[in-house]
């Protein structure tokens, strides 16, 4: 499959961050992966409507102050594939849908490269549901406060494979310090669900040589979906 043909390059994004820092242009140094937060939303019994309402009204962390709207996620709620990014950017905050900017276009191309389309057997969510100001990486506290929503989404979707796009998503799902270079290229697990870590599309827009590694990760995803743990 012609990777170069499918993965169209866009204009570079404004600022650079390393993938080990996260997508945002103003990186934060995470200190603890799952810090205690004052209170956590009780999501265990929520159905989709209750979850959407809780996320829309959430005030568990300071990110709610700057949002136009919370961005729950988009796609097929019975999907086999779940892709998890970092958090909404400016366009996502405006439109209420994850990955609608330049990084989203590349994500769509990545999906197409393995025969997938947004919304068809694919669900896309983020580690945090509200836009971090200035496109910075969400703090460990913000991710911990939002984690119950992501966990409930995973319980409701019951995907066959989870893809963590970038370091913050990987860390919030695996609850451990992650370096993308070391974590990518092999299978992890979220509870009993296989999980693949790969580069965030926004990082790939700025670091073209790593697209070859991302392609390997896409092949691992496809293989895992086909063969399960034997992939």
Cα–Cα distance, 32 to 158 (Å, whole number):
28
Considering the complex, state which of residue 22 and residue 41 has its C-beta at the smaller distance from ligand URA.
22
Query: Does 99 contact ligand URA by CB under 6 A?
Result: yes
Query: Does 103 contact ligand URA by CB under 6 A?
Result: yes
Considering the complex, state which of residue 17 and residue 220 has its C-beta at the smaller distance from ligand URA.
17
Q: How many CB atoms lie under 10 A from the CB of residue 189?
A: 12
Reported as half-sphere exposure (CB side, CA atoms, 13 A), residue 115 has a value of: 7
Considering the complex, state which of residue 99 and residue 190 has its C-beta at the smaller distance from ligand URA.
99
Q: Please state the separation of Cα 134 from the chain's center in Å.
A: 18
Query: Which one of 41, 75, 98, 138 is in contact with ligand URA (CB under 6 A)?
Result: 98
Considering the complex, state which of residue 23 and residue 141 has its C-beta at the smaller distance from ligand URA.
23
What phi-psi label fits residue 134: left (phi over 0), alpha (psi between -120 and 50 degrees) or beta?
Answer: left
DSSP for residue 196:
E
Cα–Cα distance, 231 to 220 (Å, whole number):
7
Residues 5-44, mask of contacts with ligand URA (x by CB under 6 A): ------------------x---------------------
φ, ψ (nearest 5 deg) of residue 188: -120, -175
Residue owning tokens 């693949």 = 196
CB of 138 to ligand URA, least distance (A): 10
Kindly identify the residues of this chain, within the stretch 156-215, that bind ligand URA according to CB under 6 A: 202
Residue pair 164/196 in contact (Cβ under 8 Å)? The answer is: yes
Lookup: tokens for 183? 């974590």
CB of 128 to ligand URA, least distance (A): 9
Stretch that binds ligand URA, among 85-93, 138-146, 179-187, 211-219 (CB under 6 A): 85-93
Cα–Cα distance, 102 to 26 (Å, whole number):
18
Stretch that binds ligand URA, among 8-16, 96-104, 183-191, 205-213 (CB under 6 A): 96-104
Residues in the site for ligand URA, rule: CB under 6 A?
A: 23, 85-89, 92, 98-99, 103, 126, 202
């Amino acid at each position: 499959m012609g990777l170069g043909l499918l993965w169209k390059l866009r204009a570079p994004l404004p600022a650079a961050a390393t993938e080990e820092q996260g997508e945002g242009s103003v990186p934060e140094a995470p200190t603890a992966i799952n810090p205690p937060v004052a209170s956590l939303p009780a999501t265990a019994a929520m159905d989709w409507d209750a979850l959407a309402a809780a996320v829309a009204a959430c005030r568990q962390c300071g990110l709610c102050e700057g949002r136009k709207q919370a961005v729950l996620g988009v796609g097929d709620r019975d999907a086999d594939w779940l892709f998890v990014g970092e958090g909404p950017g400016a366009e996502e905050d405006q439109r209420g849908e994850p990955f609608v900017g330049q990084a989203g276009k590349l994500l769509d191309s990545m999906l197409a490269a393995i025969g997938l389309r947004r919304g068809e057997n694919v669900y896309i969510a983020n580690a945090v549901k509200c836009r971090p100001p200035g496109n910075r990486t969400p703090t460990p506290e913000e991710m911990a406060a939002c984690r119950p929503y992501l966990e409930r989404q995973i319980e409701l979707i019951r995907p066959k494979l989870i893809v963590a796009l970038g370091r913050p998503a990987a860390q919030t799902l695996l609850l451990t310090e992650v370096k993308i270079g070391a974590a990518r290229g092999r299978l992890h697990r979220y509870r009993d669900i296989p999980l693949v870590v790969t580069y965030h599309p926004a990082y790939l827009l700025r670091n073209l040589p790593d697209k070859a590694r991302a392609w390997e990760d896409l092949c691992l995803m496809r293989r895992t979906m086909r063969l399960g743990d034997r992939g």
